[in-house]
Every structure is written in structure tokens, then in C-alpha cells.
């Protein structure tokens, strides 16, 4: 069973439990909803609130999806910069140790740093391998004719590595989380008072609303950390670059 099936099954169960609880509470009221007309929320007010809440959900989803795509693009840029460095260094005499350091760094990033990033931190070993790459660069004999290109692409790779480190902890403004969870509670509260007749139709409608809100909140939570969760940026670009480097003479 895939993680997504387990996830949405759990969301469905929670939605059924919440909507069922609302239905039971109305039955327990024994018709007082029909006698006390003041104890309900006007549909126009509820509609305005849900529209405002939907705006914040949409804002969070668009913001985090954009950050996710940016993180994915930056990983590709980082891998491409390292590939350019390797190809450029091939033409330089005495660059074997430098190129081997690049291979070792990329291997550690794929095998150790990516699993470590799922836990919310960078790999100390990858840091050391990255420092070793720079040390080997400065040990290249003489002044390479294309040293500016090597330096520029190494700097670009380092910049994108720093970008990976900065986005792995979360990208959504903290007060938005307060709005999202407070809005979820408010939606359930509003559904309890706006549907005054305990019917099967209200049960189904409330299930759909609660399921959708919970699914959106989880999607936001998952996207908030691009390198951990179910939807993640994979090191495919690094794997491809590493395989390509090994195939070069």
C-alpha cells in the first residue's frame, strides 16, 4: 500500500469521525435548532469567512509550490555547475586529484546527505568533501588558463548548496500556520451551527468540506519542507551527473 493511499485513508477516517460527531451532536439537541433561531450562523457570514480562509490556503499552496519548484531547479543548477567544473578540469594537467574529489563529494551528497536532509540537517561529511574540493582546486599546478570558469562554477555550486540548506527547515511564514489551524477549527464550528437539520445530506457535505480542508493543510505541511515528507526534491540530477562523470575517460 502506497504512502498516499495510507495518508488519504487516514484523512478520510478523521473526516468521517468529525462529520459523524457533528451529526450526533445535532441529534442530541432534540430539535432545539428549530426552536432557537438565534443560535445559528448566517450563511452570508459563513460564506465570507470560508472565502477568506480559502484565500490563505491558496496563498500558502502557491507560495510553497513555487518554493518547491525553485528548490528543484536549484538542485539541477548545482549538479550542472559541478558537471561543467569536471569537464573543464579534464583539459587541465594534474587535475586527477581535483576531479576525484568532485566524484567523492557528489557520491556523498547522493548517498548520505540526501537521507540526512530528510531529517532536517546537512551532512557534516558532505561539508568536509566540499571543503576538500576547494582545497584540491587551489592545489592545481600553475595558474590554469580556465581558472576563472572553474572558480565561477564552483562558486555557483556552493551557492546552490547553501540554498538547499536554507529551505529544508520550512518556508511558510509562521503566523500563517496559526491562521490555517484556527481556520480549520472555525470551519468545523461553523458547520455545526449553519446546518441546523441533522440529515444524511449534511453529513456528506460536511465530510467533503472537512476532507478537502485537511488534505489541503497536509499538502501545505508536506511542501513546507522540500527535502522531506512524501513530496520531495530527489537527487536525480546528481545521480545523472555522477554516472556521466564515471563514463568520461
Residue with cell 472537512: 210
Domain membership of residue 243 (yes or no) is: yes
Domain assignment present for residue 187? The answer is: no
User: How much is the pLDDT for 70?
Assistant: 92
CA-CA distance, 46 to 120, in Å (whole number)? 39
Q: Are 109 and 126 in contact (CB under 8 A)?
A: yes
168 alpha carbon, distance to own chain's centre: 8
Residue 114 lies in a domain: yes
Within a domain: residue 2?
A: no
Q: Is residue 124 part of a domain?
A: yes
CA angle 21/195/216 to nearest 5° reads 65
Check: CB of residue 39 under 8 Å from CB of residue 33: yes
**How far apart are the C-alpha atoms of 106 and 160, rounded to whole Å?**
14
Tell which residue, 86, 56, 137, has the closest CA to residue 249: 86
- Is pTM, for the whole model, over 0.85? no
Per-residue pLDDT of the chain (249 residues; tens, 9 = 90+): 588 888 899 999 999 999 888 888 777 765 554 454 555 667 777 888 888 999 989 989 998 999 999 999 999 999 999 999 999 888 888 889 999 999 999 999 999 999 999 888 899 999 999 999 999 988 887 655 557 788 899 999 999 999 998 888 777 888 889 999 999 998 888 888 776 666 777 788 889 999 999 999 999 999 998 998 888 999 999 999 999 999 987
Map residue 119 onto helix, strand or coil: coil
Structural domain containing residue 130: 88-169+233-247
What's the structural domain count of the chain?
1
In a domain? residue 101: yes
The verdict on residue 210 lying in a domain is no
Q: Is residue 82 part of a domain?
A: no
Amino acid at each position: 500500500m502506497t504512502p498516499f493511499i495510507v495518508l488519504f485513508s487516514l484523512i478520510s477516517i478523521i473526516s468521517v469521525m468529525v462529520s459523524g460527531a457533528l451529526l450526533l451532536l445535532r441529534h442530541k439537541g432534540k430539535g432545539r435548532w428549530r426552536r432557537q433561531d438565534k443560535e445559528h450562523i448566517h450563511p452570508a457570514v459563513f460564506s465570507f469567512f470560508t472565502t477568506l480562509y480559502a484565500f490563505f490556503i491558496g496563498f500558502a499552496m502557491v507560495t510553497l509550490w513555487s518554493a518547491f519548484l525553485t528548490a528543484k531547479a536549484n538542485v539541477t543548477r548545482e549538479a550542472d555547475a559541478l558537471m561543467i567544473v569536471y569537464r573543464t578540469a579534464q583539459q587541465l594537467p594534474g587535475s586527477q586529484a581535483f576531479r576525484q574529489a568532485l566524484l567523492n563529494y557528489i557520491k556523498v551528497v547522493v548517498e548520505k546527505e540526501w537521507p540526512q536532509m530528510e531529517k532536517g540537517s546537512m551532512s557534516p561529511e558532505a561539508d568536509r568533501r566540499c571543503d576538500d574540493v576547494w582545497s584540491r582546486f587551489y592545489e592545481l599546478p600553475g595558474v590554469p588558463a580556465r581558472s576563472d570558469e572553474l572558480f565561477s562554477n564552483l562558486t555557483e555550486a556552493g551557492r546552490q548548496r547553501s540554498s538547499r540548506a536554507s529551505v529544508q527547515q520550512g518556508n511558510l511564514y509562521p503566523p500563517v500556520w496559526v491562521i490555517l489551524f484556527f481556520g480549520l477549527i472555525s470551519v468545523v464550528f461553523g458547520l455545526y451551527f449553519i446546518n441546523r437539520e441533522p440529515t444524511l445530506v449534511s453529513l456528506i457535505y460536511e465530510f467533503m468540506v472537512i476532507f478537502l480542508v485537511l488534505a489541503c493543510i497536509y499538502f501545505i505541511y508536506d511542501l513546507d519542507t522540500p527535502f522531506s515528507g512524501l513530496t520531495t526534491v530527489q537527487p536525480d540530477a546528481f545521480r545523472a551527473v555522477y554516472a556521466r562523470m564515471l563514463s568520461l575517460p
